[in-house]
Chains A and B, each alone.
Chain A
Amino acid sequence: MSEGDPMPPGAVHRSLPHDSADLHVAGTALYVDDLPEPPGLLHCAFGHATDGHGRLVALDLDAVRAAPGVVAVYTAADIPGDNDVSPVAGDDRLLAEAEILYPGQPLFLVAATSTRAARAAARLGRAVIEPLPALVTIADAIAANSLIEPTQVMRRGDADAALFAAAHRIAGRVEMGGQEHFYLEGQAALATPGEQGEIHILSSTQHPSEIQHLVAKMLGRAHADITVEVRRMGGAFGGKETQAAAFAAAAALVAATTGRAAKFRAARDDDMVATGKRHEFEIRYDVGFDDAGRIEGIRLDLASRCGATADLSPAINDRAMFHSDNCYFLPAVEIVSRRLKTHTVSNTAFRGFGGPQGMLGIERVMDAIAAHLGHDPLAVRRANFYGPGRDTTPYHMRVEDNVAPELVGALADRAGYDRRRADVAAFNAASPVVKKGLALTPVKFGISFTTTHLNQAGALVLVYADGSIHLNHGGTEMGQGLHTKIAQIVADVFAVPVDVVKVSATRTDKVPNTSATAASSGADLNGMAAYNAANTIRDRLAAFAAGRFGVAAADVRFTRGGVIAGGDVVAFASLCRMAHLGRVSLASTGFYATPDIHYDRATHTGRPFLYFAYGAALSEVAIDTLTGEHRVLAVDILHDVGRSLNPAIDLGQIEGGFIQGMGWLTTEELVYDDCGRLRTHAPSTYKIPTANDRPRHMQVEIWERGHNAAPTIHRSKAVGEPPFMLALSVFSALTAAVAAAVPGKGMPTLDAPATPERVLAALRDLRAR
């Protein structure tokens, strides 16, 4: 096994394999579509709008109803309660009503005796649509001033005055594309009717409570009638936070109306066309700075394509604003954020949740300042770091745990930044076609849901009389190792081996009113809730043992060798048995609400985050100046996870997050046509990184000095999202390589994803200056 040599005392801070690892490799880990199919099971498919924005004049479904195997066909009129699968705004229809908002929107629902029959029948619908003008691009929506909510402004100081007074002032812009989640397991749900209108839903979702609530409203039932269960997801990355709801609701509608179990397993292309993605952004900057490149004033204009409905776009765009500073102090700053409504699929949560886009903007600014002054970009970054007296964010929160300068310094030393920068320059001087680039970029990522009330979690711990432990909590397992970490936390409380703790499926009938497993908060929130539940039971056991063995409760110690009470040592299982006979409750809920956070959205000020997670990455790339092809040659990462709950699992998050970020910025290109139809809707056309895209040199280290200043569970830090943005170093390195190919022409205009075509275009643009 892969745990360290001398076994540390507790179950936490240790590398333990994922609790399902053996099942994963054996093929016996069960996902929604793997469960035995109930007799009479019906299979679902949506009929999707093929054209874009328009008015639905008529929907002829005769051929659909007549198709082989079809049992039921539904339109919006067949929904008994609310036709809504939205998280907040109430604007996402399960099935379209009068207006078609985007190509791919579900118009009707088919239930048939096989998946193929349902999908084939779904293609037979004939919609008569009166076309309406479609806003597809960011530019379209800006021109039409089409917004999903009013434009938001965050400011501190007088940016205009600072810009006017600054010794240097430059302006520019950068565009970045969206990103498909490409969870390997597509959207899936299985709904089974119970008695008295109950529905049980197995869903591949990050947000079982939301689905429970939406389905209840759709069917006109109480929350208590609907149970949603999630054992595991085959990846999610934010794509199953709100987007799983439509599929689960559709299956539930079929189950409720036919009395038969119903499964919805979305075909990959349908899934990619009909579900939201990371937001495309265009960011403009106007920045004033001194001779050292230190920013004095800055205006940032963030425009994002939100798609047809609100979904989580307000919060996502807020987070883009929150991260427009990254690690840098912006003395006088104004951030304007426009949330554009378009007739394209509604964009949604994706690892980083707007943070990557905001951070790409400010990293572009750093590179532009360095290019303007002819300075080393790392020196410019360091000059702008938060520090003593320069520690207030644009949202007026003090940065109290700033470890970026130290961490960046450590990485620059370890990875040999100065030497390698010289090596790259020497290489470029001698190489006419291939040019290299190098960049070291930092990450600071705020941890907490910025919607304050979401920062709560519950857990349920059951200790059985044989000493085995059943653990439930509100978090969902999507591969991130959450269940493993929380089992470690609970095992540690009782000082028992981790395998004594059985983590079971997340269920709304065990832990109610949960938040989505999102915002990197899974272990922080649910870990603390489970810790509190376990401690409640441990206190009861200690009190019982104290009485039984005649010692003070405070003197009862839970150790790996057993529970010590005075001179007595009793096995944990024996103590549980005794406590049961002594009529002590061995079950408890636990609850946690993040302290010390508040936020006033009207003024965009407050303390939205409990703490920040930090990291830094050095990437070295090579571009081919004839074709624009490029490779990431080497990557060195140092990342802060506080005191890691499970170092091996955290390393996996860091490395996987980096590669996913690299894909966003390089090969993953979403192409839409003029009507807003997605042309890249399967892996044949949408290209996430393969094993061969992983840099040959990849050195990932957890920062050994990591410690959370905030009182989080075992002083750990969240790790799900922050590493994604380590990949910004790749984009800066590519920019540097382009600049090196055409020296003396200033800052290249490179947009993301930096496909070979965009790199070649950036070179051409630079040469033409």
Chain B
Amino acid sequence: MDNAIRFLLDGEVIAIEAPDPTGTLLDLLRYRMRRTGTKEGCAEGDCGACTVALGSLHGDTVRWRAVNACILFLPMLDGKALITVESLSKGGALHPIQRALADGYGSQCGFCTPGFVMSLYARSIAAEGTEDLPVGDVLAGNLCRCTGYGPILAVGEAHPPAAPAADPALVVALRGLQRDAPLTLRHPGRTAFVPRTSDELSAFVADNPAARIVAGATDVGLWVTKQLREIDSLVFVGDVADLKIIDETPDGITLGANVRYSEARAALARLHPDLGELVRRIGGLQVRNAGTIGGNIANGSPIGDMPPALIALGATLTLRHGDARRTLPLADFFLAYGRQDRVPGEWVERIHIPQPPPGALLRIVKLSKRFDSDISSLCAAFLLPIADGRIGAARVAFGGMAGIPSRAPACEAALSGQPWSAQTLDAAAEALRDDFAPLDDLRGSAEYRLAAAGNLLRRLWHEQADIPALAHV
């Protein structure tokens, strides 16, 4: 049986026999292939110095996305095409983006530069997630400590996204790497299973409930690079095609667990602009190009990038065990810090986000020390049906206020059935003190969290009463 992964690099098929399933692409490039242009700055997906472009086959086209090589495990490369900074100047001449950065003083120490080159390159070929984003948003996952970013942003402005020319040879080559059966990788002390379908996945997980499911590895990657954990059995779900559905209907959106943030952003923004903006502020683009909404929910982070918003919207989760499925409100999935309502062998299959009721006021707000690529100190979502000057059954959910993302019952009670007024919002803000006793931590004090959370409720009135553009920075 085949015990190797294969990927394309500069037109060549690279085969790695018996790869370590928790080996990273960055280490492969730097220490085995001696392509040292791709740098390690943080090994946690937060600085972008290791940015590479990964191409996947979609029908007759190849779709590219910029990703962080530092937390990309080797099995996730199988059947893909890879472009690194070295690829761009293969013929000896610099790529126009490289030329422009060099001549435009876009590098100082140069260490972050290859990552910027790759992010700008990915944007120039309209890679995933870049479509409608300004350059600054595309680059927010690349840290530079020297330049102040001005010259780099200028190069981006001068090289706008354009769909790349079709590359039939690449399509053919990639097609040759696709598998019609799941892949099992065996490495000393460690195995990995790479299913193609949700049925294969479900059967495997039912039989191997201890296996760690990995989608984008934006969290599990850090277990390996930072905590130095040894994970002996893994399931890589990134290529399970039938978990990639994005189903938009009049009553809401259904997302397969495997849909990446950047793939979902447009649909979620159509559901509500705040939801799109919330997604835009999760990680850098490289993280959104790897991380999935299903993975974000399944790992049960207390901050929970998406869950507060989804809970307020009344999202439901479908869990699967073998062939059995059950559906529960997302709010009920999070039991306590680090604990979810999921039995061994059960896995998150899809999530349904209902359309907010017509006329309802929906606001989703994230607070963080830095606007971009930061974990929220506080995330709030308010869904207030308002009719005839009165608030109906309010749904209010927060992240960062407790050990799990959760609703705020006292606050909801203070809103529901009350007149739509500044006084009601004041009362609801005060009621948060009955709902939460937040922690003090590095992202904010309990006092700040309570005060700011209350003020976010008060802001709802300002947004109505004042000029909306002046209601927030």
- Known A26-B98, A235-B109, A268-B43; judge A691-B135 contact (CB<8 A): yes
What 1/0 flags go to B132-147 for Cβ under 8 Å of A?
0001110111111111
Q: Could you say which of A267, A631, A658, A671 contacts B148, with CB atoms under 8 Å apart?
A: A658
- What residue in chain B is nearest A653 (Cβ atoms)? B108
Query: Does B271 make an interface contact (CB < 8 A)?
Result: no
Within 8 A of B (CB), among A643-665: 648-649, 651-652, 655-660
B residues near A23, Cβ cutoff 8 Å:
110
Q: Could you say which of A182, A682, A687, A764 contacts B451, with CB atoms under 8 Å apart?
A: A764
Within 8 A of B (CB), among A158-187: 181-186
Give CA–CA (A431, B459) in the complex, Å: 13
Tell me which of B191-199, B208-216, B401-409, B464-472 binds A.
B464-472
Contact status A235-B111, CB under 8 Å: yes
Which of A25, A28, A685, A689: most chain B CB closer than 10 A? Answer: A25
A residues near B417, Cβ cutoff 8 Å:
none
Give CA–CA (A28, B372) in the complex, Å: 30
Distance from B136 Cβ to chain A, minimum over Cβ atoms (Å): 4
- What residue in chain A is nearest B472 (Cβ atoms)? A624
Give CA–CA (A116, B441) in the complex, Å: 30
Query: Does A692 make an interface contact (CB < 8 A)?
Result: yes
Which of B101, B102, B143, B462: most chain A CB closer than 10 A? Answer: B102
Residues of A contacting B: mostly? loop
Contact status A18-B105, CB under 8 Å: yes
Query: Does B169 make an interface contact (CB < 8 A)?
Result: no
Give CA–CA (A685, B377) in the complex, Å: 11
Q: Could you say which of A31, A434, A481 contacts B471, with CB atoms under 8 Å apart?
A: A434
Query: Does A536 make an interface contact (CB < 8 A)?
Result: no
Contact status A652-B105, CB under 8 Å: yes
Contact status A27-B86, CB under 8 Å: yes
Contact status A627-B102, CB under 8 Å: no
Contact status B472-A433, CB under 8 Å: yes
- Known A183-B109, A690-B370; judge A682-B102 contact (CB<8 A): no
- Known A26-B37, A184-B144, A684-B46; judge A651-B110 contact (CB<8 A): no
- Known A24-B102, A692-B140; judge A434-B472 contact (CB<8 A): yes
Query: Does B153 make an interface contact (CB < 8 A)?
Result: yes
Which of A30, A268, A432, A658: most chain B CB closer than 10 A? Answer: A268
Contact status B108-A481, CB under 8 Å: yes
Distance from A661 Cβ to chain B, minimum over Cβ atoms (Å): 10
Q: Could you say which of B30, B136, B146, B471 contacts A691, with CB atoms under 8 Å apart?
A: B136
A residues near B147, Cβ cutoff 8 Å:
652, 655-656
Query: Does A120 make an interface contact (CB < 8 A)?
Result: yes
Give CA–CA (A21, B116) in the complex, Å: 13
How many A-B contacts at CB < 8 Å in the complex?
279
Contact status A25-B107, CB under 8 Å: yes
Q: Could you say which of A232, A268, A624, A657 contacts B42, with CB atoms under 8 Å apart?
A: A268
Number of A residues, CB within 8 Å of B? 92
Contact status B98-A25, CB under 8 Å: yes
Distance from B143 Cβ to chain A, minimum over Cβ atoms (Å): 6
Contact status A434-B473, CB under 8 Å: yes
What 1/0 flags go to A665-692 for Cβ under 8 Å of B?
0010101000000011011110111111
- What residue in chain B is nearest A1 (Cβ atoms)? B103
Within 8 A of A (CB), among B30-84: 30-31, 34-44, 46-47, 49, 84
- Known A659-B148, A757-B448; judge A184-B112 contact (CB<8 A): yes
Q: Could you say which of A185, A648, A691, A755 contacts B152, with CB atoms under 8 Å apart?
A: A691
Give CA–CA (A570, B456) in the complex, Å: 77
B residues near A21, Cβ cutoff 8 Å:
101-103, 105, 107, 110
- Known A26-B37, A761-B448; judge A185-B109 contact (CB<8 A): yes
A-B contact pairs, 10 of them (CB 8 A): A18-B102, A25-B94, A29-B110, A269-B226, A626-B462, A667-B369, A671-B442, A690-B139, A690-B140, A690-B372
Given contacts A25-B114, A479-B109, 13 further A-B contacts (CB under 8 A): A28-B86, A31-B111, A119-B228, A235-B146, A268-B43, A430-B470, A480-B108, A671-B442, A679-B441, A684-B375, A692-B136, A755-B369, A760-B448
